Structure 1
């Protein structure tokens, strides 16, 4: 039960339900889970180019010659890469920060591997830096910092749109989201 509590969002009750289920009803599943976790812990590492999670030295995106190296999308986590890959037709490449700037938490540029990002920008292939950090205070500060790095190199930087979700109704949208959507409006 204690081992399961290391997972995000798993409290004592959830951990005990999972543990009892695995031990009482699904021992084969428990063994399969244990082997999968061990294999992941031993075999998954960071891609040397983009810092995404990978079983190889280069992840599948970086190793794909059909991807457009002139488009570089910066995200906070590997989960963000997966979300973009599943929901969009983006055919560029990525750089995964593994976090966001947060001076109060001691997370600065070096903790996010920004020296590696700068080196990649200096290679001269990137023409557009797409900033896909989360719309939090730290995510916005990170995007601003990255835009500055791009501007210093003459690279175009763009920010993904934020605002009213598809299917959303204006009366239920929070004020900050609605204000951001209004300030980012575009011609139709």
Structure 2
């Protein structure tokens, strides 16, 4: 099929998003073309602002627009408890449940020897530093189960 270059580039951009295949990209591109220009500009501005204004918390690694993040700044939270999660989405899910009142540590991925991803390739070294520097009495490993449905083994058994 032939598409004019601007829509072809738009479709290519959509296919870079996870879970968006060629058919969905075509549908989204044509949807955008039918949007009001102000809505398209607001959408583009929201994308640019999110990319520009968000960063990772220097303490826990969560996404934030201020450093440290509001969770790390909250002195009413249990400072001795850290919940280790894979992604910022996991922090948000935990916070929505309103059951956990400790701090978090976001790994930004999972160890995968088959993919060449080791502890140094994700946010593990800063976790080790936190465990040395802060007074932590409990560490909760809340990472996603691996493909076999098991949690990962301890990667630093001497801690």
TM-score, normalised by the number of residues in structure 2: 0.86
State the SS of the aligned residue for 1:3.
helix
Structure with greater contact order relative to length (CA < 8 Å, sep ≥ 6): 2
Find the aligned partners of 2:100 and 2:34 in 1 and give their Cα distance.
44
RMSD: 1.7
1:140 counterpart residue number? 151
1:102 equivalenced with 2:106 (yes/no):
no
2:19 counterpart residue number? 9
Q: Report Cα offsets for 1:2-52 as digits up to 9, x if no partner.
A: 111111111111111111111113332221110011011111111000011
Gaps of 5+ in 1: 154-188
Q: Report Cα offsets for 1:158-184 as digits up to 9, x if no partner.
A: xxxxxxxxxxxxxxxxxxxxxxxxxxx
Find the aligned partners of 2:36 and 2:154 in 1 and give their Cα distance.
49
Does 67-76 or 27-36 show the bigger shift? 27-36
Q: Report Cα offsets for 1:63-120 as digits up to 9, x if no partner.
A: 1111111110000000111111112411100000000111111111111122111110
**How many residues are treated as equivalent by the alignment?**
148
State the SS of the aligned residue for 2:43.
helix
2:84 counterpart residue number? 74
